[in-house]
Each structure stands twice: as structure tokens, then as C-alpha cells.
Structure 1
């Protein structure tokens, strides 16, 4: 029986981890402690899951005491990104296994600390990269691993985040780089990990451009140069194109956000509201990136992401010495202002006919990946799967290092080597696990 503590009672914790533990995997897993700095989050957790009423609540400075009193065997970290490292290091020092929500940490320096701590611990770190588990992503991995397109020479990945979703990062704590590492880490760590895993090579060199175009006080969509506004109480709602797009004229609550649960009170937390104005001057992160990454096996990745697009999804292509793979996905079709087709994978041999692959889809969040990763996390890895999927600390570290290299390249205007950030022995590191 896994005796689990949830460190950080975020919405992600409530839906991605607590709910499946209680509803789907109670025979092998038991939540024996809850930890957060904000007792109001604990109250919210109990409102949603009253069966946890007898589970003790601890503050961050009580971690060691909690482990001893509750008999913890596994730590799940779902707190604000910059606090992940504290819980991971404390857990590893006590030889406990850790499941960390992505990103594992927010800096390459902290990633190195985790890797070193894991080497000296009986505990192991697992990073919840649920996008690996999307059935389409698994199929792409199988195709590449089978040699269907030969050696991968280049990858094109263009990610689009619509204003419903994209604006949420600028309303919440993510807007502060110290808390999130910026979106090249908080969000793009998903994407860099996917490519690292797909091509099974190490990222070596990164060159990138980036900027803040659509959010922040300088935005041409900003109704006025005022700070301290909140969507739910703003007097300029009808002058704000973002508010009008997602609300119309009849609603009177915080602008919609798929990181908030239905009916959630935006003032449910102490000293924090998740509906700050997306045009505040304190916003210090970028909303647009374009990057080129060179890999250890010679693969080149062309990557871009934009957080203010009319629809959400991505376009992806792999070129190899024996062929090409293409796919396109539209997320949240109900928010897409035009009809969209179901996602397929096009496999195009270098000499031969194109094959259109219809993948058996799975229900659940993140393209059907959430239920599958939950099974691996709480029941053990599915040994019948033809590819390795569950990610460890090394995979977490490299995804973060690429994201940090993107930001540093933007800032410094020069290529950044991943090795310089992770300070790892390059000759001993050959693949992502």
C-alpha cells in the first residue's frame, strides 16, 4: 500500500491525483497527509472530497514531522512550480519516492540538485509528463522507434494556444518568472520532453527569439494603462476585447479559464486571486517564442509557440532518411471557430504511397493521456506497452534545461548549450529516460 502525501492542494492536485486515487486506485494507494501553506485550500479540498476529513493537514515547515507521523512512503508534488524543488529534495533525503507534476523544477540549477540528490537516495523521481501518453503521441513514438522513417533528420513543431487558455497564464502566478520559470519552462517543458522522447536524443544547442506581444501593459488591446485590475470586478469589462470574447455582455464573473474548475470562487485562496488583469505592467514573461534546437544525433528541431491564437492545437512533422510523419491536432473543438476533422497521422515513405493512420482514441484529459499515466503511476508500469513512456528525473531535467536555454538565448541573443546549464558528463549521457 502506497501511503501518499499531496504537497500543494492545487486544482491539478484535486483532479489529476486526488480524485483517481480515491475513485479508481484505492486498493493500492491511500492519502495519509495533505500539505499546503494555505489552510483555505485545505478547506476547499475537503469540500470536494469529504472522505479526506480525517486526513491530517500540515504546513510546509512540518515536512519531516509529517513523514514520521503519517508513515509516508510516496510524495506527490503539485504545488507552485518554484516550490517543487524543496519537497523533492526533502523527500529524497528521506529515501522516499516522488511523483512531481511538470515542470519538475523551474531552473537547470535546481534540476542538477535533484539529479545529484537522486543519485544519493534510495528514492526515485517520476515526472508526470502526461502528454507522452496521448494515443497519437504513443503511436508516433512506435513509428519512429520501429525505423519507419529511418534516422530522424528534422522536426517541425508549432504550438498554438488560444486566448481562452493562453490568457490564464497572464492572470495567475505564472506571469512572474521567479514562480514559473517563464512559459518556455512552465508550458514548453511538455513539448521539449515530447521531442526529446520521440527522437531519443539529447538536446545540445539552442538558439531562440521571443517577446511579449499580446499581454502586458504595452499591448495594443489594453483598454487603459491601469494596474491592479481583476476581471471579476473590472469597470472596463466592455472595453476589453478579451473579456468580451469569452463573456459577452451578460456575465459578471472572472473571465473564463480552463485552469479553474466550474463554480470555483476566485477569492477562495488567501492573498491570491487567479483573475488578475492580463494587461498589468508586472507581467515579465514572453508570450511568443521561435527556437531551433540541435540534438546529439544530428536532428534539428524547429519549434514555435504563441499564446494568443484564434484556435488551440499544434502542427507536427518529422523528416527522416526513409520518410516523413505528419499530424495536426485541434484542442477544444468547441472553442475553434470553424469545423475541424478528427486527428490522424500521415505516414509518407520516401518511396511509396501515403498511409493515413486512424489511432484508437482514449477518453480523458490531455488527449486521453491522463487516465493512462494514472494507471502507470498508481498501479505500476504496463509491461505490455511496446515503448517506455514513464519519465524520470533526467527527462525532467533536460526538458527544463531546453526551456531555460530558450529564455537565455532570447535574453542574450546567442546560442546556449544545454551542457553548460546541466553541467553533465556529455559522453555518459546518450538518451532520455
Structure 2
């Protein structure tokens, strides 16, 4: 029986880890401790999952006590991004394995600390990059391993976050770079890890442009330049195009963000000192909502990447070019929020000399393109022995994804290419302040 403690009783913890451990993997796994800064989260968790009523709870300063008392095999880190590094380092110091949500940490300097700590510990780090596990992403990896495209020369990846999901980042703590690292880390590490994994190469250099186009105080869609508003009490919310796109005038919302346990309005919010409905036009917002980046890899491949956090629909367009052919696919995500007809996702393969081949796949159920359930099986039952390639991500993969993400922001800020190796392995030569 493997024992787990949960650091950060977030919505992600409740749904992604606690629920399946209790309901699907309880024969081999058990939760022996909960840790969070907010005691109200313990009450909500135990009310939802009665099996945990007798499980002890701890505050962050009691981390070492929790480890000594519960003797877990794994620490699961699911709190706010800036809390990850402390729990990971303390777990490794206690020789305990770690399963952490992405991003592993919020900057390259801390990523390097994690790699160093892991090298000196009996504990190991797993980063839950569930995008690797998507039905289509695994098939693309297999096609690359089969040599279908030959040596990969370039990849084009354009990612789109719709106005509902995109604006949610600017309502919450994610809009604070000191806490999230900015969206090139909090969100884009998903995408950079996916590319790094497909290529099996290390990123060397990144150059990027970025801007705050849609949100923040100076947005052309800001109905009134006044900071400190909240959607639940705002007197100009019916003049806000983002609010009116997803809500009626009386405030009922037509969809709920899959990242939030709390509702949009104050009366729905169950947590202490947490509001997920801060104004998306606040003056304090300084992170970017648009990026375009180029990344060079040590194996000769090049990536052209863009992401937009205020698009009409959610999804991505991907093309992988190689010496033997090209792979293309387009995904339209969150269908309930797409107001038009769209094609089902397929993979098109174009050999360099020959006819087109279209690959249709059965979409597996579950979050993140069917990736979450398969990731959970690997975590709690062990890696699938029939799979012929490595898919679980470790600390190094987490670190390189963060280094690219920070490199994107630094390139935007400093208007120059950023050397990834220097950023990740020689942090003393880089200005370590992120703000």
C-alpha cells in the first residue's frame, strides 16, 4: 500500500488526485495527510469525501511534522504555483518522492534547485504533464518514433485560448507574475514540454515578442478605468463584453470554468481570502496575453510558437516538418463554447514524395484530450508495460519547459535572444528577479 500526502487542497487536488485515489485506486493507494494554508479547504474536502474524515490535517509550517508522522511514499503538490518549490525541496530533503502539478516551479533558478536536490536525494520528482497522454499526442509521438517524418526540421504550433478560459487567468492569482511566473510559464509549459518530448531534444535558445492586448487597465474594452472591481458586485459589468459573452444581465453564468471550484460571484465562493472574479481590467495586471516565439533546439530542429489568450474558440493548429514528410492536425477544444460547426480532429500525414494519409483516432474519455485517466493509471498502478517509450516526465523535463517559458518572458522584456543553458544552469549570470 502506497501512502500519499496532499500539499494544496485545490480544486485540482480534489478532482484529479483525491477522487481517483479514493474511488479507483484505493486497493493500492491511500491518502494519509492534507496540508493547506486555509482550514476551510479541509472542511470542504472532507465533506465531499467522507472517507477522509479521520485523515490528519497540517499547516505549511508543519510539513516536516506531517512527513515524520504519516511517513508517506509520495508528496502530491497541487497548491498555488509559487508554493511548489518549497514542498518539493522539503520532500526531497526528507527522501520522499514527489508528484507535482505543472509548472514544477515558477522560474528557472528554482528549477535548477529542484534538479540539484533530486540528484542528492533518494526521492524522485514526477511532473504531471497530462498533454503528453492525449490520444492524438501519443499517436504523433509514435509516428515520429516510427520515422514517418524523418529528421524533424521545424514545428509550427499556434495555440488559442477562448475568451472564457483566457479571461479567467486575469481574474485570479495567475495575473501576478511573482506567483505564477506569467502565462508563458503557468500555461505554455504544457506546450513547451510537449514539443521537447516529441523532439527528444533540448532547447538551446529562444527569442520572443509579447504584449498585453486584451486585458489590463489600458484595454480598449475596459468599460471604465477604475481598479479594484469584482464581477459579482461591479456596476458596469453589463458594459463588459467579456462578462456579457458568458453571462446574462442578472448574473447567471452559462458555463463554468473547469479550473474553478468557486463560482463567479461572492455568494458562491467557499474559500477564505480567495475571489476568482477580480476585474480583468485592473491596473495591477502586467503579464502578457499574447506571445510569439522562436525556439532553437540542440538537434537542429526549430519551433515557431504562438499563443493568444482571447480567441473566439479554444484549440490549436500543429504542423511538424521533417526530411521524410509532414504531420498536420487541428484541435477544437471545449465544444460547448464553440458557436459554429467545426471538423473532428484527425491527423494528416504527407510524405515528402507521395499521397496524403489521414489517420482517424477514437477519442478516449477524460480531461486533457483523454490524457488524465491514462496518466493516473501510470501514477497509481505503475507505467504501462506495453508502452515502448518513456512518457512520465521528471524534474529535468519540468525544468526545461520552465526555462523556455521564462526565456520567452525574458526575451520579451529584454528584447534579445535568451540562452536556455545559461538561464537554467548558470542562474548567477542572469538577473533572477521576476517582476
TM-score, normalised to structure 1, is 0.96
CA RMSD of aligned residues (A): 1.4
Deviation string, structure 1 residues 89-132 (Cα, Å, up to 9, x no partner)? 00000110000000000010000000000000000000000000
Question: How many Å apart are 1:252 and its aligned residue?
Answer: 4.5
In structure 2, the residue matched to 1:352 is: 354
| Range moving further from structure 2, 183-192 or 271-280 | 271-280
**How far apart are 1:262 and its partner, in Å?**
7.5
Distance 1:147 1:253 in 2: 48
Distance in 1, Cα, partners of 2:220 & 2:181: 26
Aligned to 1:327: 329
Hey, what does 1:428 align to over in structure 2?
none
Could you say what secondary structure the match of 1:244 adopts? helix
Structure-1 separation of matches of 2:153 and 2:319? 11
Partner of 1:296: 298
| Counterpart position of 2:282 | 280
Residue 157 of structure 2 corresponds to: 157
Q: Is the contact between residue 247 and residue 254 of structure 2 (CA under 8 Å) also seen in structure 1?
A: no
Aligned to 1:234: 234
CA deviation map 1:278-318 (0-9, x unaligned): 11111121000000000001101000000000000000000
* Whole-Å separation in 1 of the counterparts to 2:43 and 2:190: 31
Task: Tell me if 1:84 matches 2:84.
Answer: yes
Q: Give deviations 1:43-96, integer Å, cap 9, x for gaps.
A: 111221122111111000001101111122210000100110000000000110
Alpha-carbon distance in 1 for matches of 2:250, 2:328: 42
Alignment of 1:247-286 (within 5 A): 247-252=247-252, 256-261=256-261, 266-286=268-288
Structure 1 range deviating more: 48-57 or 6-15: 48-57
Deviation at 1:263, TM superposition (A): 5.9
Tell me how far apart the structure 1 counterparts of residues 402 and 35 of structure 2 sit (CA, whole Å). Answer: 25
Which string of whole-angstrom CA distances, capped at 9 and with x for unpartnered residues, describes residues 142-185 of structure 1?
Answer: 00111111000000000000011001100000000000000000
Q: Are the aligned partners of 1:152 and 1:318 in contact in 2 as well (CA < 8 Å)?
A: yes
Alignment map for 1:54-133 (pairs within 5 Å): 54-133=54-133
Q: CA deviation at 1:270?
A: 1.5
Q: Is the 8 A contact 1:142 1:386 kept in 2?
A: no
Query: For residue 27 of structure 1, what is the aligned residue in structure 2?
Result: 27
1:195 paired residue number: 195
- The runs of 5 or more residues in structure 1 that have no matched partner are 425-433
Does structure 1 conserve the Cα–Cα contact (< 8 Å) formed by 2:328 and 2:348? Answer: yes
1:340 paired residue number: 342
Q: For residues 251 and 112 of structure 1, what CA distance do their matches in structure 2 show?
A: 45
User: Which residue in the other structure is 1:317 paired with?
Assistant: 319
**Conserved in 2, the CA contact under 8 Å of 1:164 and 1:258?**
no
2:17 aligns with 17
1:258-279 Cα offsets, whole Å, 9 max, x none, are 3123768643221221110111
Distance 1:337 1:253, change over 3 A: closer
Whole-angstrom distance in 1 between the partners of 2:99 and 2:338: 34
C-alpha contact (below 8 Å) 1:266/1:275 kept by paired residues: no
* Whole-angstrom distance in 2 between the partners of 1:126 and 1:334: 32
Distance 1:8 1:179 in 2: 15
Q: Which residue of 1 aligns with 2:137?
A: 137
SS at match of 2:401: helix
Are the structure 2 counterparts of residues 226 and 137 from structure 1 closer, same or farther at C-alpha, using a change threshold of 3 Å? Answer: same
CA contact (8 A) 2:2 2:28 kept: yes
Q: TM-score, normalised by structure 2?
A: 0.95
Count of equivalent residues: 424
User: Is the 1:232–1:253 Cα contact (8 Å) retained in structure 2?
Assistant: no
Residue equivalent to 1:427: none
SS of structure 1 residue aligned to 2:114: helix
* Cα displacement (A) at 1:360: 2.3
Tell me the secondary structure at the aligned position of residue 167 of structure 1. helix
Hey, what's the Cα distance between the residues in 1 that align with 2:230 and 2:367? 28
CA contact (8 A) 1:213 1:219 kept: yes
The answer to whether the 8 Å contact 1:75/1:91 transfers is yes
Contact 2:231 2:277 in 1 (8 A): yes
Secondary structure, counterpart of 1:308 in structure 2: strand
